[in-house]
Amino acid sequence: MNAIISAADLAGESAGPRPPVLLDVRWQLGGPNQRPAYEAGHLPGAVFVDLDAELAGPPGSGGRHPLPDPAAFGAVMRRAGVSAGTPVVVYDGGLGWAAARAWWLLRWTGHRDVRVLDGGLAAWTGELSTELPTPAEGDFQPSPGGIGLLDADAAAVLGTSDEGLLLDARAAERYRGDVEPIDRVGGHIPGAVSAPTSENATADGRFKPAAELAERFAALGALKAPTVGVYCGSGVSGAHQVLALELAGVEAALYAGSWSEWSSDASRPVATGPDPR
């Protein structure tokens, strides 16, 4: 199954006999909560899910967006109407990072039929709704382990192993350590390869064609590496990279704690400077 869906295909499925559950996960890094924007207009039937409060645990030593408690996440999904056998489509304001985080969490916890609306809300040409839905309770029960997850130790090994590849999905200037606007220190995990998430998509937020993504990741060594891992700042844009890799035909694991967890521990090594490749 393709991990993304076009707005036209979503409109057709929503009008069909097996409409997907729609999750609105609009979010802005460091910005205001997007619940008011959701209430002002969303895809008909979509339920709002708060990334900071419901797609992440409390920030701390595990990073700015540590994984949520699986049981708590399952309760959120059931309240949104998610069942094990029901297709799910997630969307955000267009960047795709927040939607990818929801996609990754559902995949990691065992849901087999979840896709991201390519291009997000901006791609939708149908009418929007201000009605707040009250879906029937779903039956989804999380079973973690559906796709790959790395902790700090595994990320460290992958970065220095000849048998694996660790991709840093942040902007290149943060990878180099030129600037660090959020976390304790700039730089990257030793051995990681710079692969900014921004290069996965076109200017309108849609994913580049699978063939282009495969060419990009082949140049980075991902198509030949036995194991591929991804990290970012806090496990949000990195999920977008995992999704892009899947579109390119590559299975990848997410280091969910990412740089916000890694850099919080002064005992962990930090590399700076340009990608040595």
Question: Active-site residues: which are they?
Answer: 232
Helix, strand or coil for residue 53?
helix
Contact 195, 220 (CB under 8 A): yes
Asked if 223 contacts 197 with a C-beta cutoff of 8 angstroms, the reply is no
Half-sphere exposure of 26 (CA within 13 A, CB side): 22
Neighbouring CB atoms inside 10 A of 98's CB total 30
Tally of residues, the chain: 277
Q: Tokens 């700042």 map to which residue?
A: 233
How many whole angstroms separate alpha carbon 142 and alpha carbon 71?
7
- Alpha-carbon distance of 211 to 217, in angstroms, equals 10
273: left (phi over 0), alpha (psi -120 to 50) or beta: left
Beta carbons within 10 angstroms of residue 249's beta carbon: 12
8 A C-beta contact, residue 212 and residue 224: no
Left if phi > 0, otherwise alpha if psi is -120 to 50, otherwise beta: which for 49? beta
**Tokens of residue 183, six digits:** 């976390």
Q: How far apart are CA 74 and CA 79, in angstroms?
A: 9
Cα torsion 126, 132, 135, 139 to 10°: value is 100
Q: Which two tokens stand for residue 79?
A: 């309240």
